Amino acid sequence: MLNDAVTAQSPAQLDLATHAECLEFIRAAITENCPETARDIKNVVAEVCENGYADRAKVWADLTPTEQTQYKELLGS
């Protein structure tokens, strides 16, 4: 899942717009109810976080519990 491996990020590198885009992508996958899209987005979010532009734990924390559950279910499909 998104919060499996959290990498320490420099606050100077984090980008609020990128954070918001990650949330939008995840929510779009939930809306589409498409496991393939959810996996693709997971990979994009992972890369963005690994490169220091967003914080995986913060992105995950900003999803509602329902969204977290729905996304986990899509990833498990």
Q: Which residue has the tokens 């320490």?
A: 8
* 3 state SS of 63: coil
Asked whether residue 71 is domain-assigned, the answer is yes
Using CB atoms within 10 A of its CB, is residue 26 exposed (0-12), middle (13-18) or buried (19+)? buried
> Which pTM value belongs to this model?
0.79
Alpha-carbon span 32 to 19, nearest angstrom? 20
Using CB atoms within 10 A of its CB, is residue 29 exposed (0-12), middle (13-18) or buried (19+)? buried
Asked whether residue 6 is domain-assigned, the answer is no
Q: Which residue has the tokens 């990020």?
A: 9
pLDDT above 70: percentage of residues in the chain: 83
What range does the domain containing 21 cover? 16-76
* 3 state SS of 21: helix
pLDDT level of residue 3 (50, 70, 90 thresholds): very low
Asked whether residue 11 is domain-assigned, the answer is no
Number of domains in the chain: 1
